[in-house]
Amino acid sequence: MMPTPSPSSYPKTPPPWLCELPKKDPWSRPFAESLLSHLDLQAGLTVLDVTCGDGIPAFYLAHHVGSAGHVLAIDINEAQLLRARTAQGPYFPWLEFRPEDVKQLPRDLGQFDRITGNLSFMFFRPDRETALHQLLRFLNPGGQLALTFPSLGTFDSLWQRVDREMASRSLNKERQALADYITERPSAADARGWLKSGGLERIDVTEYPLEVDTGPGNEFLYHPLLRGGFLDDVFECFTDQTLAESFMQCIAQDIERFTPLIALRCVMSGWLPKK
């Protein structure tokens, strides 16, 4: 960890927007809200925030642990870390953004009272259970782990519509790729089992529904909560991207058959027993 500056060198109070969850983020904010409703935060804690992205909710965590605490926020995406550091400016010197791969963390990373991550668990693939158990090596006895992810069941109405269309067109390879993708997605039951096998106690796994509103056509295809994520998973089922584009244009004109789109915000939480 980086050395902590003396309190007298800390900058003035950060602007309110840096201490709160962003109001204009319709995807990360709802997941972060559900995460923070389960995370036990106190002043002076050390926190590891995995796959932190551009700082939601790392800044919130730093604000609440205060200058007596420390937050290490890690992500493999350097561009997102650059945006996070730019937003941070001179504030929260006890918050460090560092490039790390959650599946290959160095042994000298340190020990933490809390390990958390918003929308992070999806990136633990392909062996999420092993990655989760490796992460627990860095949790102090008596510490809490809390993660969020979109769980199995998210946008099922869309996947069913896509599957029917693939079947009607005899797109067998693409249909199998879609089935493999859906099978690989974690469920709340999976999360509960993995926390238990990791030796955690006081396990709590809770799902919260989130409706994503969209219109047809390009509004659907380029929706900020869908493209760059879930819809790209459909495109990846195709080797012919021209075919994928025409296929998805057809789906985009038929949203009445699969809306509302419901995401399941899943929060998984558990505590490492005290020694």
**Residue 273 neighbours by CB under 8 Å, 6+ apart:** 141, 142, 199, 200, 201
Question: Taking the chain, what is the end-to-end CA distance rounded to the nearest angstrom?
Answer: 24
Tokens of 10: 């800390």
Task: Tell me which long-range contacts 179-186 makes (C-beta under 8 A, separation of at least 24).
Answer: 181/233, 181/236, 181/237, 182/152, 184/125, 184/126, 185/122, 185/150, 185/151, 185/152, 185/154, 186/121, 186/122, 186/128, 186/149, 186/151, 186/152, 186/266
Q: Give this prediction's pTM.
A: 0.88
Tokens of 124: 């633990």
pLDDT digits (tens, 9 = 90+) for 92-144: 999 999 999 888 899 999 999 999 999 888 777 778 899 899 999 999 999 99
> What are the structural domains of the chain?
12-151+186-211+263-271 (3.40.50.150), 156-181+214-257 (no CATH)
Per-residue pLDDT of the chain (275 residues; tens, 9 = 90+): 445 555 556 666 888 888 888 877 888 889 999 999 999 999 999 999 999 988 889 999 999 999 999 999 999 999 999 999 999 999 999 999 999 988 889 999 999 999 999 988 877 777 889 989 999 999 999 999 999 999 999 999 999 999 999 999 999 999 999 999 888 889 999 999 999 999 999 999 999 999 999 999 999 999 988 887 789 999 999 999 999 999 999 999 999 999 999 999 999 999 999 97
Q: Are 21 and 86 in contact (CB under 8 A)?
A: no
Burial letters 74-111, b for 16+ CB under 10 A, else e: bbeeeebbeebeebbeebbbbbbbeebebbebeeebee
